[in-house]
Amino acid sequence: MKVLCVAEKNSIAKAVSNILSGGQLRVNNSTYKYVKNYEFTFNGFPFANNGSCEVTMTSVAGHLTSIDFDGARYGWGKCNPAELFDAGVVNSKSKDQEQIAQNIRNEARDKDYLIIWTDCDREGEYIGWEIYEEARKSNSRLNDHTLYRAVFSHLERNHVLQAARNPNKLDKRAVQAVGTRMELDLRTGVSFTRLLTDTMAKKVQNAMGITQRQGSKNERLVISYGPCQFPTLGFVVDRFERIRNFKKEEFWNIQLTIRGEDQGDPTGITTVFQWERGHLFDRLAVLTFYEMCLELAGNKAKVVNVKSKATNKWRPLPLTTVELQKNCSRYLKMNAKQSLAAAEKLYQKGFISYPRTETDTFPQAMDLKSLVEKQAQSDGSAWSSYARDLLDESNPNRTNKYRFPRSGSHDDKAHPPIHPVIALGANANIDASERRVYEYVVRHFLACCSEDARGHTTTISLNWNNEIFNASGLVILERNWLDVYPWMKWENSKVMPKLDMNQEVTIFKAEMKSGFTSPPKPMTESELIMLMDANGIGTDATIAEHIEKIKARNYIKSDKVGKESYLNPTVLGVALVRGFETIGLEDSFSKPFQRREMEDDLKKICDGSLTKDVVIHDIIDKYKGYYHRTTQNKGALLQVYDRVKNSLS
């Protein structure tokens, strides 16, 4: 019995082949120089009834085909862009893709079974379908009954063997969902990109001082549209305009200060109490409160509440892709593209689990303690002693000990949260970025498996002529997970004075103070990732791509201020958002509502409540209306660009 296995990348094919073959394999070249064919025998496939199979394992390099329009009929300048909403689409292959496809066809000719080993997400299902379609071209015996897909999330030996022994079937609904997204993105993206470029490119080029040589396509400015790019841009522009339009306002409040020595407290602690009303923007009103309190209560106040309670700083939830990108940006100053690329390499090398996951809940049956043990045995790492202490049961008085992680509310049923698989040796073949991301993954995982930090808070309330003033203090009793997670700060605050209920206290100082409101800070990439995730813009795997795309299109730029980098829109970025607002399409273009609706529809395709044809027909009908309105208002887009350029220059 002969079996063809196909992975999404050559590195995965190589790792899986070494595990299934026990290292006894032959390596042959393929028709594409970066893909190898690995041959070996394996007797664990369930359809072989414990018999030995001759296996060839190979790979693709991402998608095997692309969808596009017929260039001869629908190329740029050869048709009205509006025709692209209904134009036929064709599958095409680049030269490299054709070489990889030829290898699939060659290797599939004499095979009895095909097993897909692509990444276990929607995109992986679609790539698996592309592989299946290509294999059938040379072997009609391959069908739904002989097609399987391995389900795996990392490259640990036992896990890979389990995946080989228990393969599933391809999820054809997920294939349809990805096909829907690809077709919608093609039709809407190309049509509006051509419309915007034809309308605005010449004016923008002149404004930017860009000249294009006659017949030179490479220097042509492209003003692209993408259904994820524009809402992403919208978030950055919205923050920019809130800052630019901000007008500071003066406010007033009241503060009380008491000294412990005035109350007979030998510690002599000085404590500031804040007004429960916060701050008010009416100076006369605050002054009235202040003078009435002074006149009727003088320098005396009464303790009306003393509350002491235990408080916890919860350990983090298990790590998702979005959280990884957000925190690497925030803590490690790595952008989303860099952190995800480093995580991908660590996965391919077998150090961490699959890094593209929405799941923040570990399966109860998963043996996480063994993963902690591997880190405890990693001599020389900065966290090995912490991992050993976590598992040490010989000291009954220790406060921190291993606990199964808490569960979040997301489970994509495809992959567990990101976690380390094996310990990192001192001589591991990884670069500096990969090492930093690996350390973050390990520390986050160990923090998940620890006890919550524990502290004690005390809150005291004073009544000064019926106006309430509060002060709080925190004392940390057990740091626990904070000891392995240096990026999270939770520190002792002011020590509170020893006061009793109904005690009269002497006010050392009562002040009426003023201040000014401050504008929001510019957008950080970490904040942008959170906004995109919360609003369904892109997937955990594509968020980084969308941010990089609008940078490459010169819609936003990154400005470094001190140690922090902020994202700000360019003139073109602001003009695009404002232009679509002017013609009444802000909810469809620069706001997340349209894309979120599409993502909801894709989920419904996956659960069988909608079909590809229905979703495409519904969304394309809407975009035809958007296109008509835009063509009727081209002049408005140009006028807005001029206004923005003049106002920001």
Positions marked active-site:
354
Tokens of 433: 């970025």
Euclidean distance between CA atoms 30 and 211, whole angstroms: 45
- Angle subtended at Cα 220 by Cα 218 and Cα 222, rounded to the nearest 5 degrees: 115
Q: Residue 245: is it exposed, middle or buried by C-beta count within 10 angstroms (0-12/13-18/19+)?
A: exposed
112 closest CA partner among 73, 32, 56: 56
Euclidean distance between CA atoms 525 and 468, whole angstroms: 40
Euclidean distance between CA atoms 509 and 639, whole angstroms: 58
Burial 249-285 (b: 16+ CB within 10 A, else e): eebbbbebebbbeebebeeebebebbbeeebeeeeee
Strand 509-516 and strand 147-149: pairing?
unpaired
Does residue 293 contact residue 465 with C-beta atoms inside 8 Å?
A: yes
Euclidean distance between CA atoms 469 and 467, whole angstroms: 7
Euclidean distance between CA atoms 283 and 293, whole angstroms: 15
Per-residue H/E/C for 154-190: CCCHHHHHHHHHCCECCCHHHHHHHHHHHHHHHHHHH
Q: Name the residue with tokens 């862009």.
A: 81
Does residue 577 contact residue 637 with C-beta atoms inside 8 Å?
A: no
Tokens of 27: 């390596």
Q: What is the DSSP string of 291-337?
A: HHHHHHHTTEEEEEEEEEEEEEEPPPPPB-HHHHHHHHHHHS---HH
Q: What kind and span of H or E run contains 10? A: helix 10-21
Strand 270-275 and strand 467-478: pairing?
antiparallel
Q: Name the residue with tokens 């919360």.
A: 534
Residues paired with residue 478 on neighbouring β-strands, in sequence order: 454
Q: Residue 92: is it exposed, middle or buried by C-beta count within 10 angstroms (0-12/13-18/19+)?
A: middle
- Dihedral sign for Cα atoms in the order 12, 16, 19, 21: negative
